[in-house]
Chains A and B, each alone.
Chain A
Amino acid sequence: MTESNKNSCCSDGTDTVQNILSVLDIRILINEPLCTGCGLCGELCPFGLPKPSDNGKYEIKNPELCTECSACQRNCPTSAIIMREHVGCGCLWNARQQAKSKGNSCNCS
């Protein structure tokens, strides 16, 4: 009874977007044309980062405070939120585990 053990890091075309994000060091971004201003992201963010802007759409006010929990991105009805999701939680011991398994967790070349 094996489950699919595919690594999330070996995924498809979203990689390019993700790479651009990491090069530009942008943590999170709302794609304005797609945003409908429903405000769900503002309800979900535990730090209240998405805020309504002047044109009725939403924008991330302090992206440096984002913890990449992906709550807004997962639940955005129009997939307007672009972010680089990180495996793991904010715990030091989890970071240690990630650092140790970095070598063998991703099989893609």
Chain B
Amino acid sequence: MRKLEEEPETYDSKFTSLTKGVNVNVHSWVLDQIQSDQSILEIGSGTGSLASKMVSKGNIVVAIDNNIEMINYAKQKYSDTLENGTLLYRLGSFTDLPVEKRSLDLIVSTFLLSELRPLEQQIFLRNAWKALKPDGRLILAAEFIPSGFWKVSFKIKRWWFKKKLRRLRLKSTFLVKWFFNYIEPIGFKIGNQKKWKHGSIQAIELLKINDNGEEEPDYYRPKTKKFKGLVSQLRIYRCLFTGQIDRVPIEPGIYQSGNPSSKSPIIVTANYDYTYIKLMRDLQGIDAWVLCLDSNGINVWCAARGDDFGNKQLLEAIESTDVQVVSEKKTLILPQLSAGGVAKPQLPEKFPFKVKFGPVWSKDLKQFLSERPIRKPDSMKLAKFTFSHRVRAGITHTTFLFRKIFLIPIIAILLSFIALNNVAIIWWLGELVIWIILSNVIISIFFPLSKFTRKFIVKAVFFGCFSIFFIGAISWIFHSSYLYLLLNFAIYFWITFFSTMSFSGYTMSTSPKEIQAEYPVFRKINLTLIILVVILLGINIIFFILNIIN
């Protein structure tokens, strides 16, 4: 949708074809819900067509959008309606509504919600609540996940759509996942509801409730998530086995460790499931407020290096949660590794908290909280790539390689061998899988041996040679054949070479500049090796068919 917004002239027609005409039905449904003589605010008015229709029903409408081109386009297109003074287009956003408190009968917003992140959706609801009269209404239309059987086909379509967007380097919209949880706590109840396309597009009418004359609506807080027991252990394994590929977000917001009071410290972290569980386990026995920012289901270090754990996420979490109310403490304790994203001096002047960076690892938090050192000891602040980290990184990396790199080749080889009706070669394939796993075991255990250089290509060649001897020796035990070794040593080398290069992201001490400079060289070596491996693979197959080796 962001792509479409670049050209206001074609936005309407392109959007209609994207939603297969549903947006027209949505607009007419919304118009059916509106009587006359009401003061209406439209948030995210786009090309302004809905706003002008609402005016022609006899209402006073203010339409805002944060895209100046859209506003100019709308002003031009509907210039005749503007003259009555009942329609106003202006630049604005949901974060700061240009209206008085409790002044509106109705707020309308179509297809904006899916552009907002979970905490932004809460800010949106809260601001809407503040702007509405006690009997006011909010009408929303957005993309949702359909229920039941349709969920499956929707997910497949969505997966395909996301792949396409990634190829085009476009960001996709967020699915409105937890939105229905927010409605009641913040102070709305669902009135009318209409679904299209099995619920993948919905329009909802929300009625304002709980207006006791207070300034602020209530806050939403996610349900406590378990961090002990079998299920959470399985969640940990899930993260270990899908890391680097899958984002596993939990609901962002405030969680409690123990029974925190207004004197308890506030600890900030990412909303990755693994991070949450580890942190909560390490905090056991300590009463604290845990604020999970919306880092998009990514761990702290990677999120800070991307754009997922920074000032924006921090500010948004402070605004949408009651963290200022629950604790008297005016210090936020952030993970040290988030400093690559959070910039203290750039925070606004009226930022209500002091920001303090805690230890790197959550296991040191207990000690940090009790001692509050001005200068942290080295054990707390240095990111060491220890053996246990390497083992976990090795597991994640192996699953990553199988899923993203070797899955298709392995299936292709398997199918061609089934076609050739040769059982012996399936053994060879089984060995290949073991070699891939073994390569990663070698890398993760012996990684410190390659400390003599920072260049990953050199490390990769080092481990490649290492594995020719190591895997070659094991393979000799199975086959006792020089010919077999001769045909396969390049494959052993390539697997380990490739794995070492791909392992670079896990080591923490790799610099993006260095790895980006090494990439073109890696690409050349890798292509050469792949050609060599494919040729050897062909010879292997011929030998297998001729039964020279087995």
Residues of chain A within 8 A of B169, CB atoms compared: 101
- Contact pattern, B 294-315, Cβ under 8 Å of A = 1, otherwise 0: 0000000010111000000000
- Contact pattern, A 61-85, Cβ under 8 Å of B = 1, otherwise 0: 0001111111110111101000010
Distance from B394 Cβ to chain A, minimum over Cβ atoms (Å): 15
Contacts A1-B66, A39-B375, A75-B339; A90 near B383 (Cβ below 8 A):
no
User: B507, A71: Cβ atoms under 8 Å?
Assistant: no
Distance from A85 Cβ to chain B, minimum over Cβ atoms (Å): 9
Contacts A74-B343, A99-B519; A87 near B360 (Cβ below 8 A):
no
Contacts A86-B511, A90-B507; A1 near B344 (Cβ below 8 A):
no
Measured CB to CB, the nearest residue on chain A to B515 is A95
Residue A43 at the B interface, CB < 8 A? yes
Chain B contacts with A in 460-508, Cβ cutoff 8 A: 501-502, 504-505, 507-508
In whole angstroms, how far apart are the Cα atoms of A87 and B378 in the complex?
28
User: B357, A44: Cβ atoms under 8 Å?
Assistant: yes
Partner of B336, one of A2, A44, A98, A99: A44
- Contact pattern, B 510-550, Cβ under 8 Å of A = 1, otherwise 0: 11111110111011000000000000000000000000000
User: B345, A89: Cβ atoms under 8 Å?
Assistant: no
User: B339, A2: Cβ atoms under 8 Å?
Assistant: no
Residues of chain B within 8 A of A84, CB atoms compared: 513
User: B302, A98: Cβ atoms under 8 Å?
Assistant: no
User: B509, A48: Cβ atoms under 8 Å?
Assistant: no
In whole angstroms, how far apart are the Cα atoms of A71 and B357 in the complex?
11
Contacts A89-B302, A92-B504; A65 near B345 (Cβ below 8 A):
no
Measured CB to CB, the nearest residue on chain A to B518 is A95
Residues of chain A within 8 A of B375, CB atoms compared: 39, 42-43
In whole angstroms, how far apart are the Cα atoms of A64 and B306 in the complex?
22
In whole angstroms, how far apart are the Cα atoms of A98 and B505 in the complex?
14
User: A89, B306: Cβ atoms under 8 Å?
Assistant: yes
Residue A91 at the B interface, CB < 8 A? yes
Residues of chain A within 8 A of B339, CB atoms compared: 44, 69, 71-72, 74-75
Residue A96 at the B interface, CB < 8 A? yes
Contacts A43-B381, A44-B336; A77 near B512 (Cβ below 8 A):
no
In whole angstroms, how far apart are the Cα atoms of A67 and B511 in the complex?
4
What is the predominant secondary structure among interface residues of chain A facing chain B?
A: loop
Distance from B399 Cβ to chain A, minimum over Cβ atoms (Å): 14
Measured CB to CB, the nearest residue on chain A to B454 is A64
User: A47, B512: Cβ atoms under 8 Å?
Assistant: no
Residue A46 at the B interface, CB < 8 A? yes
In whole angstroms, how far apart are the Cα atoms of A68 and B382 in the complex?
15
Best-surrounded residue of A74, A90, A93, A101 (most CB of chain B within 10 A)? A90
User: A95, B345: Cβ atoms under 8 Å?
Assistant: no
User: How many A-B residue pairs lie within 8 Å, measured between CB atoms?
Assistant: 139
Residues of chain B within 8 A of A87, CB atoms compared: 512
Residue A56 at the B interface, CB < 8 A? no
User: A69, B344: Cβ atoms under 8 Å?
Assistant: no
Distance from A91 Cβ to chain B, minimum over Cβ atoms (Å): 3
Measured CB to CB, the nearest residue on chain B to A69 is B340
User: B502, A93: Cβ atoms under 8 Å?
Assistant: yes
In whole angstroms, how far apart are the Cα atoms of A86 and B511 in the complex?
9
In whole angstroms, how far apart are the Cα atoms of A96 and B518 in the complex?
10
- Contact pattern, B 390-412, Cβ under 8 Å of A = 1, otherwise 0: 00000000000000000000000
In whole angstroms, how far apart are the Cα atoms of A34 and B346 in the complex?
18
Chain A contact-residue range equals 35 or more
User: A90, B512: Cβ atoms under 8 Å?
Assistant: yes
Residues of chain A within 8 A of B244, CB atoms compared: 91
Distance from A2 Cβ to chain B, minimum over Cβ atoms (Å): 5
Residues of chain B within 8 A of A64, CB atoms compared: 454
- Contact pattern, B 338-382, Cβ under 8 Å of A = 1, otherwise 0: 011111111000000000010010000000000000011010011
User: A2, B505: Cβ atoms under 8 Å?
Assistant: no
Residues of chain A within 8 A of B306, CB atoms compared: 89
Distance from B75 Cβ to chain A, minimum over Cβ atoms (Å): 18
Residues of chain B within 8 A of A65, CB atoms compared: 454, 509
User: B512, A67: Cβ atoms under 8 Å?
Assistant: yes
Residues of chain B within 8 A of A88, CB atoms compared: 305, 512, 516
In whole angstroms, how far apart are the Cα atoms of A75 and B501 in the complex?
31
In whole angstroms, how far apart are the Cα atoms of A95 and B501 in the complex?
11
User: A79, B340: Cβ atoms under 8 Å?
Assistant: no
Measured CB to CB, the nearest residue on chain B to A1 is B115
In whole angstroms, how far apart are the Cα atoms of A66 and B456 in the complex?
15
User: B115, A74: Cβ atoms under 8 Å?
Assistant: no
Distance from A70 Cβ to chain B, minimum over Cβ atoms (Å): 6
Residue B201 at the A interface, CB < 8 A? no
Measured CB to CB, the nearest residue on chain B to A97 is B169
Residue B177 at the A interface, CB < 8 A? no
Residues of chain B within 8 A of A46, CB atoms compared: 336-337, 360, 381-383, 508
Distance from A105 Cβ to chain B, minimum over Cβ atoms (Å): 9
Residues of chain B within 8 A of A2, CB atoms compared: 2, 5-6, 66-67
User: A76, B512: Cβ atoms under 8 Å?
Assistant: no
- Taking Cβ atoms with an 8 Å cutoff, the residues of B that contact A are 2, 5-6, 44, 65-67, 93, 112, 115-116, 169, 244, 302, 304-306, 336-337, 339-346, 357, 360, 375-376, 378, 381-383, 454, 456, 501-502, 504-505, 507-516, 518-520, 522-523
16 A-B pairs whose Cβ atoms sit less than 8 Å apart in the complex? A1-B2, A43-B336, A44-B357, A46-B360, A47-B382, A67-B509, A67-B512, A69-B304, A76-B345, A90-B508, A91-B244, A92-B504, A92-B515, A94-B512, A98-B512, A98-B519
Give the 9 A-B residue pairs with the shortest CB-CB distance, closest first. A91-B505, A90-B510, A71-B339, A46-B383, A74-B343, A69-B340, A67-B511, A88-B512, A95-B519
Known: A74-B339, A89-B505. 17 other contacts (CB 8 A): A1-B66, A2-B6, A44-B336, A46-B337, A46-B382, A48-B381, A67-B509, A67-B512, A68-B512, A71-B304, A74-B340, A75-B339, A77-B345, A90-B511, A92-B504, A92-B522, A95-B518
